[in-house]
Amino acid sequence: MRYTDFTPHDLVLLLQGLGVSAALFAATTLIGSIIGLAWALLRYYRVRLLAPLAALVAELLKNSPVLVQLFLVFFGLPVLLETDLSPVQAALITLSGNTAAFMYVIAVSAIESVGREQLETARVFGLSRWQTLRRIVAPQAAAFSLGPLAGLLVNQLQVTSLISVIGVVDLTKAGAILNLRTLKPFIVWTVIGLLYYLMARLIAGACARAEVRLRAHGQWKGL
């Protein structure tokens, strides 16, 4: 039996898919940010072997298709490690790694945007490398990075739609299910697109407000 009308259960399915997409986006953003910043610190402290390795991994991840990475993790990693990997776990690993690669690039660019004369001045006044990072580099780098970060987060939100191909019932997968059942693609995909758009606007707006406050705080501090 084929249903062609929408039912109240369709709203539940959409909300569940939206929740999965939002949760995975939040989790992979947090994990990816931590990893990316850690890689950037390896470069800042010029850790031998690890800093070049982190740069190489980031270069590979940011210059290869996310869908290929997803298939490699979901189909290849279980064979390599002889273990089971659920679609959600594969999505978490893939998107976290991809986010980390771009976060690394943003963090490195933000750190390098701080004038060298400020670093030299800090050295003259006897500040350690950690004190220079915490008091001088980090506040300015954070303000510089918020613009690129907003673009990255919006892009990574859109990238989450790819995880539906490995069976994760996210917002896109919920849309595909409703489309097959109702045969009303224009309505279904318009709603899905609007939901992604609203989430993207929320992210961009939050980053814009944070950037204004951070820059104002930095000016007040005289940075």
How far does CA 10 lie from the centroid of its chain? 29
Residue 131 near residue 122 (C-beta atoms within 8 A): yes
Is the CB of residue 54 less than 8 Å from the CB of residue 146? Answer: no
Residue with tokens 């982190």: 54
> According to the model, what pLDDT value does residue 134 have?
76
Contacts 24+ apart (CB under 8 A), 150-153: 150/203, 150/204, 150/207, 150/208, 150/211, 152/99, 152/102, 152/103, 152/106, 153/29, 153/203, 153/207
Residue 189, in any domain of the structure: yes
Q: Mind listing the pLDDT tens digit for each residue in 1-39?
A: 456 678 888 899 999 999 999 999 999 999 999 999 999
Q: Per the domain annotation, does 185 fall within a domain? A: yes
With respect to residue 2, please indicate whether it lies within any of the assigned structural domains. Answer: no
pLDDT of residue 153: 94
Instruction: Measure CA 128 to chain center.
Output: 31
In terms of DSSP H, where are the helices of the chain? 8-44, 50-62, 66-71, 77-81, 87-112, 116-124, 129-132, 138-159, 171-182, 185-221
pLDDT value at residue 40: 92
Q: What is the CATH number of the domain that holds 46?
A: 1.10.3720.10
Residue-number span of the structural domain to which 123 is assigned: 11-221
What is residue 164's DSSP assignment? Answer: G
Residue 5 forms part of a structural domain: no
On whether residue 97 sits in a domain, the answer given is: yes
The low-confidence residues of the chain, meaning pLDDT below 70, are 1-4, 115, 215-223
Please report the pLDDT score of residue 113 as a whole number: 78
Residue 168 lies in a domain: yes
Query: Is 44 within a domain?
Result: yes
Whole-number pLDDT of residue 128: 74
* Total domain count, the chain: 1
For position 3, what pLDDT does the model report?
Answer: 60
Whether 115 is in a domain gets the answer yes
pLDDT, position 25 = 96
- Per-residue pLDDT, 223: 40
pTM greater than 0.95: no
Over residues 117-131, the pLDDT tens digits come to 777 777 777 777 777
Half-sphere exposure of 62 (CA within 13 A, CB side): 18
